[in-house]
Structure 1
Amino acid sequence: MDLFHQGDPSRYVLLLLDGWVKVTSVSRDGQEALLALRGPGDVIGDLAAVDGGTRSGTVTTLVPVVANVIEGTQFVDTVVGHPALALGLLRHLARGLRQSDVKRLEYVSASSFGRLAGLLTDLSERHGRPTPDGVVIDLPLSQRELATAAATSREAVARAMRALRDRDILRTGRREIVVVQPRVLRALGRTLPDDGR
């Protein structure tokens, strides 16, 4: 279910209490990109509320969510009236900018395989659930969504996932990925050279 759409006017901010959403954006040529995954504790729609612009992406639930809905002007008034909250918002925005910078650097310095390994490592560390069999990423993401998030093709993701399964680094099920060897996956994300893709 879409919570709001790219280009919509900004009327409210969401504070996620439970569940996960994906943030996607469509380029001028119609290509959809997965920009982010957000979960409990994350604030969504704060940029549009602060600058008065339209939504920069579409937010879609991945699982059932529980969220507080805060009217946009109320959110801004609250931030202005509470310096500690304003500082927390700045830290939240700074963290997002740093993550974007790291991703851009990874995209120019790593192979498509390495970018996927880095993405899966990030997903397992931020959103994974430890089990005796490994770290479970039970977010329902398609290979196409993984491909856009890793700036590569769906075919490259399919090849990489097959290679990772063959080496028992991860296992896949229906809309589920189990990272069996997190340290190996992390190392692959850091060490593979650029392959020109």
Structure 2
Amino acid sequence: MHEDDRVAALATIFACPAKVAHRLDACMREKRFAHREVVAHQGDDIAHCWLVIEGAAEILCIGAAGQEALLMMHGPGEMFGAFPEPTASRADILARGDLFTLRIATSDLVALARTHARLAAGLAAIFARQLDFVLDRMAARTTLTAAGRVYAELLRLAGAEGRITPPPVLTALALGVQTTRETASRAVAVLERRGIIRRDGEALVIVSRRLLEDLVV
């Protein structure tokens, strides 16, 4: 990725002036990971933050009995890692698809945030959006049925366009809403039988958003 493209991306993501984005870029290094490659293991000491530019990173917590729970998935414009201090990773961090990130030492990011108010505000906005998403997931886990969580996740993935490209992998979909693959498969099959969703080549299309929203209970 060319330096000018990185700086432009950073200025947009952090809503900061180009001069500040240049200073941030000078402290960052490009890091690429192949699909399912481990960024960090649960328990590893980490002293960096990663900004996702392309692809996605899964945050997977491993329980005492070996069960997995998807805590978070970070996409473009989101950050993960250790902040504001180095710490032990609370979960496994893996690449979902080809993952392209910009990595920065935690100490460098903290120092820059203390010096540049606009950068600090942009960083706070990123973390606030990610916190909102986590709270939404917690609320859904508490108040919705397993099928309702599957339907809510399909709505989220489809966005305003009503299309998911490529179609979600059932195992990943189930993991993301903390249910079984069989439950997710049955929930999706119900939608297909009722004509609420359909498969269109390389995409899953929501035919009736209203009917799908009515099933989020």
Instruction: Check if 1:97 corresponds to 2:131.
Output: yes
Choose from 176, 190, 197 the match for 1:170: 197
Shift of 1:173: 8.6
The 1-side partners of 2:91 and 2:53 are apart by 20
The 2-side partners of 1:172 and 1:164 are apart by 11
Choose from 170, 180, 191 the match for 1:143: 170
Change (3 A) 1:27 1:69: same
Who is 2:68 aligned against? 32
Q: Which runs of 5 or more residues in structure 1 are unaligned?
A: 193-197
Deviation per residue, 1:121-147 (Å, 9 max, x gap): 11222xx8x4xxx502427x5423322
The 1-side partners of 2:75 and 2:133 are apart by 16
Instruction: Check if 1:14 corresponds to 2:41.
Output: no
Larger Rg, first or second structure (1 or 2): 2
Deviation per residue, 1:7-62 (Å, 9 max, x gap): 211132111122222221112221111122222211121xx231321122222222
Is the contact between residue 10 and residue 49 of structure 1 (CA under 8 Å) also seen in structure 2? no
Choose from 107, 117, 125 the match for 2:151: 117
The 1-side partners of 2:155 and 2:143 are apart by 17
Who is 1:72 aligned against? 106
Shift of 1:158: 1.5
Alignment of 1:155-194 (within 5 A): 155-171=182-198, 177-189=204-216, 192=217
Identical-residue share of aligned pairs (%): 27
The 1-side partners of 2:93 and 2:203 are apart by 21
The 1-side partners of 2:213 and 2:112 are apart by 40
Who is 2:119 aligned against? 85
Instruction: Check if 1:53 corresponds to 2:104.
Output: no
**AA at the equivalent of 2:158:** S
TM-score (structure 1 length as normaliser): 0.78
The 1-side partners of 2:119 and 2:46 are apart by 20
- Secondary structure at the aligned position of 1:64 is classed as strand
Shift of 1:83: 2.1
The 1-side partners of 2:91 and 2:158 are apart by 24
Is the contact between residue 135 and residue 180 of structure 1 (CA under 8 Å) also seen in structure 2? no
